Structure 1
């Protein structure tokens, strides 16, 4: 059975470790990346101490599992080359031999990245927390100039690529001023070398790959950063739900044929600005982050108590999940005051549920963000230090069984798998919140 792995928070919940664990038994044929781009940072630490932060390669690579970058992935060949170099250094002899890329995948270039950073600098105190990698810029350019936006397939045609890169550079420079980026000819040479090195495919190649055996679809960022359902404007230019993966599966003739796995930590985190209702600076020294820190473009790495209201919203936005992966189960023993927030107080009203709105209504999402900026935790649960009590409490809060439990970077344990979509075709969103004697409402 195929599995789709999605983060039910703001990212950084442990998708890389979850994917690596799912690839451990040798049955997974491929990891398919279906959103985001080089800004992803999925950390995997092996039992023998090797560590790699996966951005574009799939997080099963250290186990020899091949990666396919679908047409929904924004591909940055320069960043990919740096990642391949590090994979070689940690024992993967030929990373590109494990990689195939859809020709229709959008291309992120140094011009996109330079424009991205100039825009973010211009926002000053109103910065969005961009990663500065140009992924959103590539998406915006493709929407504005669909016939001229470069794709991976264009890297194999030097004349077409040169024309597209010159148009891209000149349009962005006309809008933003000179771009700190390499000459077009140099950029085109690197991109052409990339096209000669990797296996470029069309959509049918993924269909063939999926027929060989189970695949893991690895998402990037988190549902609370989704371009349409996240807390605008502190979001990503990417669909972070299960939608893209399920589109690829439907095109391959296997609609609904995958288990939906949602990943959460025992505490809620985010990079940079935007709502984090349960933020508690006192947790930061108790829960140090070896692989997450202050980012030049994203901003600070922030820590809060488990936000059941926000994570349940993510489950609803996704249309439900089949199972959960709960990571950082060692945290409650290290931060003894760690709790679960079950309701907010906003302007004198108790809010237990955030009601999803129609996709694409960014005015509504911005209004929701403004209200969340005024929210404060109002109702708490305290499971204590026992990891199993935490796992069970999160399962109850989000209305799904726990498939995978993680207590450290190298310790992930699979529970007995819950029924798959064939056995349980109706998925349920997060369970109804527990009722309290004070007045409750859903925030719309």
Structure 2
């Protein structure tokens, strides 16, 4: 009889930054997993891990279990790959005592590749929106997916990185195609200093050759593998951790349009990969939530409470770069229930940042029905104008962005019904009472609690 095999799938049920990285690191250590599979998103991830001896790294493409010696990372075909960013990240990890990170990474031959031109065009589009920004990390993931949908055979795939002639041909075509796509933005962006560098990348014909040379220097033949590689590894491993990116509330189809990502952030891509490779072991779906709500940049955050920020400092999340400001609010059970529904439920929850709890802790279990609610809004939510409370949001038809935009507009008019939980005086009391409230509000068991950034700060509950 072959030994049991388990796939642990980690998904953020918020807007990202809930603690997927630290949970991935803990699961790898707890179960002795030898492989972390990245199954959505790309180089825009920012998964923070702090080791017990104080080393810190914000994982981008390398799996967040890589502080553990020998643990491999696989970027599945459902990810978007930034080859030069991988080299940069590996160099940072070497300074933190992980000298072989690059040697432990494999990339599916069918992973879509970000070129400098996708990154430039994505930034230019966001600059052109001005005050109507959608939100971006500025890495080029969304633009690469957009281009792949419009030009599925013209995109660069990881399997082509080791073939210079084809790589240069496709990259040059991408430069010309993308430059033409944003030509109308030139007059709009002419005076913006941040746009100048992006136009230079699109206009300089030598960028293609320099980029191809830099990619070739990475030795892609060493790390690009056939899709079947993942199936072999799954059959050879007792435990594998699938590390999600971003959060369900940012999902391309279920998030609040247009403030979303170009990636499916639910369990679906991981489950699809497991089916493709005939995985017959146990699948454990772990949803991750903070004890309070957070969001980077633009988009709805109904329970936003800036006054909470001083009591919940963010040493690893700042307002710099393209993401915009880091926003906080109190725990939002309405959005958590919505996330659970649209991702098909979870087996258990992990609650992070429990060390931040105070004796009285703000939460919202419902919203007040907006005074401007009309009959057109009725299908969007659970509850009624008569009850005065919104207790949930309805999932719309699959891939219906008009529905998601309506949800966004409705959320912008909702005001949370804030209450303060009386959690008690000791950390243990606060944890137990908050966990009990969450389990009651969401009707899901909490199996892991996290009381700090390191693996030693995690507590299994069953």
Would you call these one fold, judging by a TM-score over 0.5? yes
Structure 2, unaligned stretches of length 5 or more?
1-5, 184-197, 372-384, 425-429
2:360 and 2:422 in contact (8 A); partners too: no
Runs of 4+ that moved beyond 4 A: none
Partner secondary structure for residue 61 of structure 1: coil
Partner secondary structure for residue 147 of structure 2: helix
Shift of 1:176: 1.9
Which of 393, 396, 420 is equivalent to 1:354?
393
Shift of 1:196: 3.3
Q: RMSD of aligned C-alpha atoms?
A: 1.5
Which of 53, 61, 64 is equivalent to 2:58?
53
Distance in structure 2 (CA, Å) of the matches to 1:26 and 1:91: 22
2:49 and 2:56 in contact (8 A); partners too: yes
Distance 1:198 1:179, change over 3 A: farther
Which of 270, 278, 284 is equivalent to 2:309?
284
Which is further off, 274-283 or 174-183?
A: 174-183
Deviation track 1:23-72 (CA, whole Å, cap 9, x = no partner) reads 11352120000000111000000011100000100000001211111001
Distance in structure 2 (CA, Å) of the matches to 1:139 and 1:109: 12
Matched residue, 1:249: 274
Shift of 1:255: 5.9
Shift of 1:316: 0.4
1:389 aligns with 2:443: no
Q: How high is the TM-score relative to the length of structure 2?
A: 0.87
Distance in structure 2 (CA, Å) of the matches to 1:142 and 1:343: 40
Q: Which residues of 2 match residues 148-163 of structure 1 at below 5 A?
A: 148-163=154-169
Matched residue, 1:415: 460
Matched residue, 1:431: none
Deviation track 1:350-388 (CA, whole Å, cap 9, x = no partner) reads 200111112210001001100101111125351525112
Partner secondary structure for residue 392 of structure 2: strand
Matched residue, 1:40: 45
Structure 1, unaligned stretches of length 5 or more?
418-444
Which structure is higher in helix share?
2
Q: Which residues of 2 match residues 219-230 of structure 1 at below 5 A?
A: 219-230=244-255
1:346 and 1:371 in contact (8 A); partners too: no
2:12 and 2:18 in contact (8 A); partners too: yes
Matched residue, 1:100: 106
Shift of 1:238: 0.0
Matched residue, 2:90: 84
Which is further off, 252-261 or 139-148?
A: 252-261
Shift of 1:162: 0.7
Partner secondary structure for residue 183 of structure 1: helix
1:31 and 1:217 in contact (8 A); partners too: yes
Which is further off, 376-385 or 128-137?
A: 376-385
Matched residue, 2:226: 202
1:111 aligns with 2:117: yes
Aligned length: 415
Q: Which residues of 2 match residues 262-341 of structure 1 at below 5 A?
A: 262-333=287-358, 336-341=359-364
Which is further off, 203-212 or 408-417?
A: 408-417
1:155 and 1:194 in contact (8 A); partners too: no
Which is further off, 283-292 or 387-396?
A: 387-396
1:250 and 1:256 in contact (8 A); partners too: no
1:169 aligns with 2:175: yes
Deviation track 1:87-109 (CA, whole Å, cap 9, x = no partner) reads 11111121122111101000011
Distance in structure 2 (CA, Å) of the matches to 1:379 and 1:25: 37
2:305 and 2:330 in contact (8 A); partners too: yes
2:162 and 2:221 in contact (8 A); partners too: no
Matched residue, 1:11: 16
Deviation track 1:112-136 (CA, whole Å, cap 9, x = no partner) reads 1110110000000000111111000
1:383 and 1:393 in contact (8 A); partners too: no
